[in-house]
Amino acid sequence: MATVVPPDLELFLTGWLRSNITDVDGLQVGHRTPDGYDGSYPLIVVRDDGGAQSADRVVFDRSVGVNVCGWTRNSPKDCRDLAARVYGLLTGEPDILVGFAEGSSVCAVVPDGCNGPYPVTEDAPYCRYYMTVEYSAAGIRQS
């Protein structure tokens, strides 16, 4: 019996961002903030927050939360610029559409679910911006 499961957007998007942002020195992209992270290198963290499954059971709405961290809290420009760039890439950079990338299950960007990037106020030595992106994504058939 075959089932349809949601795609692993964390895995896909972390690899896709790594391959599309190659000019930021020391950039790390992953699915969680490393223990003891101090902002000494730029970091993008992608988290799939899930979502609903369509009535036909083959398409999934996926909400993705993304944190962009690094540099210092008192000098946010570099972090803000990288966050804006990430947002542009994830929501439809005209030359690099995430839905047409090899291995992508993204069918469409859902504009109402795309927000940010917002500065995060916290007691940390580094700067952080947060954004959400929502996709309609094809499920993966498993036997």
pLDDT at 37: 95
Q: What is the pTM of this model?
A: 0.93
Residue 64 lies in a domain: yes
CATH number at residue 29: 3.30.2000.10
The answer to whether position 107 is within a domain reads yes
Instruction: Give the count of domains, the chain.
Output: 1
Cα 2 to Cα 25, 73, 142: the distances in Å are: 44, 49, 6
Enclosing domain of residue 117 = 3-138
- Please indicate, yes or no, if residue 111 is contained in any of the structural domains: yes
Residue 19 lies in a domain: yes
Q: What is the mean pLDDT of each run of 10 residues along the chain (143 residues)?
A: 87 95 97 95 96 86 97 93 96 72 89 95 93 94 84
In a domain, 143, yes or no: no
In a domain, 69, yes or no: yes
Q: pLDDT at position 55, please?
A: 74
Residue 15, amino acid: G
